Structure formats: structure tokens, C-alpha cells
Amino acid sequence: MKTTLNLGVVPTPKSGFNFTVDGLGELKITSSGLSLKAKGKSKENKITWQKISIIA
């Protein structure tokens, strides 16, 4: 499944955006990258925009 979220021109809060994804956990989008805290887990998985640009 692929989902595209186009926010357009939106003022970004300093803390970034937080989304709760049903069945998955909490997704944070910040100026430094993405992080995901899976439901029921204490560890947060993070990746920077720089690493994403290298992968893509």
C-alpha cells in the first residue's frame, strides 16, 4: 500500500508534525528526519533526511 500526503504550504511547528498511525504507532516528521515509535515499544527508530537521500 502506498499513500501520498501533500501538505502544500503549511507553517511547520518547531517540533515538527506528529501522526498516530492505527496499528503501527506514532510517526514524527521533523526538520532533521523521520522517527517511528512502534505501538507498545519503548525504542524509537529514526532516520535523517541525509540518509534517506543517499538510499533513494
pTM for the model stands at: 0.68
What is the rounded distance in angstroms from the CA atom of residue 26 to the CA atom of residue 23? 10
For 5, the enclosing helix (H) or strand (E) is: none
Q: Which residues contact 12 (CB under 8 A, 6 or more apart)?
A: 31
| Contact criterion met (CB below 8 Å) for 19 and 3 | no
pLDDT in tens, 9-37: 777 788 888 999 888 999 999 888 999 99
Confidence of residue 1 (pLDDT cuts 50, 70, 90): low
Q: Which sign does the torsion angle of CA 14, 34, 9, 55 carry? A: positive
